[in-house]
Structure 1
Amino acid sequence: MISVDEARDRILAALRPLPAETVGLSAGWNRVTAAPVAARLTQPPADVSAMDGYALRAADGGLGATLRVIGAAPAGHPFGGRVGAGETVRLFTGSVVPEGADAILLQEDATRDGDRVSVNEAVVAGRHIRRAGQDFSAGDIVVPAGRRLTARDIGLAAAANHPWLVVHRRARIAILATGDEISLPGEPIPPGGIVSSNSHALAALVRALGGEPVVLPVARDDEATIAATADQIHGMDMLVTTGGASVGDHDLVIKALRARGMTLDFWQIAMRPGKPLLFGQLGATPVLGLPGNPVSALVCAILFLLPAMARLGGLPAAAPPSMPAILGAALKANDHRADHLRATVSSDSQGRLVATPFPVQDSAMLRRLALADALILRAPHAPALPEGAEIRVIRLDSLGL
Structure 2
Amino acid sequence: MLSVSDAEAIILNLVQPLDPQRDIEIIDLLAADRRIISTPVTSKLDFPHWDNSAMDGYAVRYEDVQQPTSLEIVEEIPAGYQPQSIVQPGQAARIFTGAVMPMGADTVVMQEKTRREDNLVFILAAPQPQEFVRHKGAFYQAGKQLLPRGVKLNPPEIAVLAAAQCAELSVYRRPRVAIFSSGDELVTPDKVLEPGQIVDSNQYALAALVKETGGEPLLLGIIQDNPDALREAIAYAITHADIVLSSGGVSVGDYDYIDQILESLGAEIHIQSVAISPGKPLTVATFPTPHSPPVSYT
Q: TM-score, normalised by structure 1?
A: 0.66
Alpha-carbon distance in 2 for matches of 1:55, 1:13: 59
Asked whether 1:288 is paired with 2:288, we answer no
Shift of 1:210: 0.9
Asked whether 1:178 is paired with 2:186, we answer no
AA of the residue aligned to 1:92: F
Shift of 1:71: 1.7
Shift of 1:6: 5.2
Q: Which residue of structure 2 aligns with residue 250 of structure 1?
A: 255
Contact 1:62–1:122 (Cα < 8 Å) also in 2: yes
| Number of corresponding residues | 289
Asked whether 1:277 is paired with 2:285, we answer no
Runs of at least 4 residues off by over 3 Å: 1-15, 256-259, 281-286
Of 74, 77, 83, the residue aligned with 1:73 is 77
Q: For structure 1, which runs of at least 5 residues remain unmatched after alignment?
A: 291-401
Alpha-carbon distance in 2 for matches of 1:7, 1:52: 59
Q: What are the superposed Cα offsets for residues 131-168 of structure 1, whole Å, 9 maximum, x if unpaired? A: 22222111332322222222111111222231122221
Contact 2:53–2:101 (Cα < 8 Å) also in 1: yes
Shift of 1:179: 0.6
Q: What are the superposed Cα offsets for residues 330-372 of structure 1, whole Å, 9 maximum, x if unpaired? A: xxxxxxxxxxxxxxxxxxxxxxxxxxxxxxxxxxxxxxxxxxx
Asked whether 1:237 is paired with 2:245, we answer no
Q: Which residue of structure 1 aligns with residue 37 of structure 2?
A: 33
Contact 1:223–1:255 (Cα < 8 Å) also in 2: no
Structure 2 residue matching 1:272: 3-state secondary structure: coil
Listed as ranges, the matches of 1:153-192 within 5 Å are 153-192=157-196
Shift of 1:240: 0.7
Alpha-carbon distance in 1 for matches of 2:285, 2:275: 19
AA of the residue aligned to 2:269: D
Shift of 1:231: 5.5
Q: Which residue of structure 1 aligns with residue 150 of structure 2?
A: 146
Sequence identity percentage: 35
Contact 1:39–1:136 (Cα < 8 Å) also in 2: no
Q: For structure 2, which runs of at least 5 residues remain unmatched after alignment?
A: none
| Superposed CA RMSD | 2.2
Structure 2 residue matching 1:97: 3-state secondary structure: coil
Contact 2:182–2:247 (Cα < 8 Å) also in 1: yes
Structure 1 residue matching 2:223: 3-state secondary structure: coil
Bigger RCO (CA 8 Å, 6+ sep) = 2
Alpha-carbon distance in 2 for matches of 1:49, 1:2: 61
Alpha-carbon distance in 1 for matches of 2:276, 2:43: 49
Listed as ranges, the matches of 1:2-401 within 5 Å are 2=2, 4=4, 7-18=7-18, 19-61=23-65, 64-230=68-234, 232-233=236-237, 234-259=239-264, 261-273=265-277, 274-281=279-286, 284-290=292-298
